[in-house]
Amino acid sequence: MSEEQVMELSLTQVEDFEFRVRFDGTPLGDLATDESPPQGRGAGPNPARLLLAAVANCLAASLLFSMRKFRNAPGPLAAHARARLARNAGGRWRVAGIQVDVQLADAAASLERLDRALAQFEDFCIVTESVRAGIPVAVRVRDGEGNLLHAAPSEQPSGLRSG
């Protein structure tokens, strides 16, 4: 049986490269995002930093989940993440690699079945496994009158089509 969930957010330009992100359907406050100088003013994290944060957060939370599955009550986890940015063959900046180091507060010997938790936690991580597999992203651009100016790729991910 296939299950699907949909998340939505709205993005509104504030000024230059600064945007306000609203997490639709949630009580969460808005998030400011911005590009670093010289393009932006650095009023918030840029998209690459948000991706890095998402991967690191998801891995830490997945490890916590996995350890708790085996009846552990670990101390606070911490993570440090590093993204390597490099230019692709077309000269465009891309995230070329991500390294995440998760730090446990507890000694390994004090945790039950840690080997099993470590063997499976990455598989629980929605973000990391999605990034590793590649994410189909449909892009449409409309003008102020609603005219479709751009659509790519031609194949839309299932369940995300809208007028």
Tens-place pLDDT, residues 24-61? 999 999 999 999 999 999 999 999 999 999 999 999 99
Query: If you search the block for the tokens 């490890």, which residue do you land on?
Result: 63
**Among 78-87, 92-101, 150-159, where is mean pLDDT lowest?**
150-159
DSSP state, residue 51: H
Q: What pLDDT score was predicted for residue 138?
A: 80
Q: Which fold has domain 46-135?
A: GMP Synthetase; Chain A, domain 3 (3.30.300)
CB 51 within 8 A of CB 131: yes
What does the alpha-carbon distance between residue 163 and residue 159 come to, in Å, rounded to a whole number? Answer: 12
Confidence of residue 158 (pLDDT cuts 50, 70, 90): very low
Q: What pLDDT score was predicted for residue 36?
A: 94
Q: What pLDDT score was predicted for residue 68?
A: 97
**Among 115-119, 122-126, 153-157, where is mean pLDDT lowest?**
153-157
Indicate the domain borders of the chain.
7-45, 46-135
Query: If you search the block for the tokens 């809208």, which residue do you land on?
Result: 162
Q: How many residues appear in the chain?
A: 163
User: Which are the contacts of 66, defined by CB distance < 8 A and separation ≥ 6?
Assistant: 117, 118, 120, 121, 124
Tens-place pLDDT, residues 105-118? 999 999 999 999 99
